[in-house]
Structure 1
């Protein structure tokens, strides 16, 4: 047993060093993936550091690792969603949505007013995944966002919440919407179809 534990510790140590130091982003990402399966709170600092990695794939995997960890990662995510770097805020909003953890709703609702449109987009998307009716009015406000992707995802999330007020707000926004692609997305959302196509991610900088 002691020999087995020693082998395990050595293997884990290799993965931790790879996640921290390997120059290959694919190796860093895969190391985080493997370590995330343990759901060990002791790995929380490693995953938090991964959220600030220069590589998009590593940030994405770190966000998923934190989401899979669940409640022990909540405090860290609520701190990260206010980070000065918008890419970190974006991935934090994503993780809270994947976690489906309603105590994160207040932070996501606040993030709907983030100065970076990408963050507003992911906050709206995550609120739709969680489906909390408390997000209803804040999401309705994003139907008039300056960014067309934010307007689209706000409509999708409102349709997922499914309350009559949400559906009527999307229908009214669709009547006023001038962008034909956004109108189509709103119509599809009301009809219950899953949207496909380009999204705002943390590699786009426009």
Structure 2
């Protein structure tokens, strides 16, 4: 590691150091080993550096991170004085630090929303099914963004328990607008498609509406007949005045976009 690179992050005013950090990240992305080691030193010796530099570096942890950062990241997760737990969670997710799961679960009760957000995101990325109950309770959180990120994390984790938690919220809606639940359920295709098709044939227009949204997000041809039927025949409306046939029309359009994107990637 070049000592001059270290000084770039310690000398001068904060604006200058932030610009130096940006340049180090560019060099690291280009393969510069000294820049990478300097950035790793920032994470390892984080109390010696300004929090702004630490947080900005961990936004790009995948550029320079390696296994040597596991212990420093775990230490930062527990460090309430340095107050960068959110970015430590981000780094753990980027580098696949599975030992962080217990600390991340504890962070779900953090007083700062950004820390809670990043803990949820990291738990989804790390994919440990043991955290499903902790995330499931957040589907009832008073903050809509927290509900959305928790649903997305459950969709990423997968498995029977995650599906059960999402389906319970689909069946027993505590909030009127649950597009995030529909989107997360689509991650369980193709297995969830028969259940969504059955829901789309039920008496509850709200359930038919969100089933249409979920079916569209699967990108699966098996959803097409149901979406076409709802679009042509269903005149139901939700408690927030959403039309089922409109949801089906948009769902069919989403399905076709997904299929086109997949075909483009595979060509």
Is residue 53 of structure 1 aligned with residue 50 of structure 2? yes
How many angstroms does 1:82 deviate by? 2.1
Give structure 1 stretches of 5+ with no counterpart. 1-8, 195-206
Alpha-carbon contact 2:28-2:64 (below 8 Å) kept:
no
Matched, 1:14 2:10: no
Match of residue 23, structure 2, among 26, 30, 41: 30
1:190 aligns with 2:185: yes
Three-state SS of the structure 2 residue aligned to 1:112 is helix
Give the match's secondary structure for 2:80.
Answer: coil
Paired residue secondary structure (1:146) = coil
- Measured after TM superposition, the shift of residue 91 of structure 1 is 0.1
Cα separation, 2, equivalents of 1:125 and 1:86: 21
Q: Which of 129, 134, 146 is matched with 2:130 structurally?
A: 134
Deviation of 1:126 after TM superposition, in Å, equals 0.6
Check the 8 A contact 2:127/2:156 in 1, yes or no.
yes
**What's the Cα RMSD here?**
3.0
With normalisation by structure 1, the TM-score equals 0.73
Q: State which drifts further: 46-55 or 79-88.
A: 46-55
- The residue that corresponds to 1:204 in the other structure is none
Q: 1:22: how far off?
A: 4.2
Which position in structure 1 is the counterpart of 2:244? none
User: How big is the shift at 1:88?
Assistant: 0.3
Secondary structure at 1:141 match in 2:
helix
The answer for unaligned runs of 5 or more in structure 2 is 188-216, 219-267
- Structure 2: distance between partners of 1:107 and 1:91: 13
Residue 89 in structure 1 maps to residue 82 in structure 2: no
Whether the 8 Å CA contact 1:20–1:46 is kept in 2: the answer is: no
Q: 1:87 deviation in Å?
A: 5.2
1:19 shift after superposition = 2.2
Relative to structure 1, is the Cα distance of residues 65 and 162 closer, same or farther in structure 2, using a 3 angstrom cutoff? closer
Contact 1:19 1:31 in 2 (8 A): no
Larger radius of gyration: 2
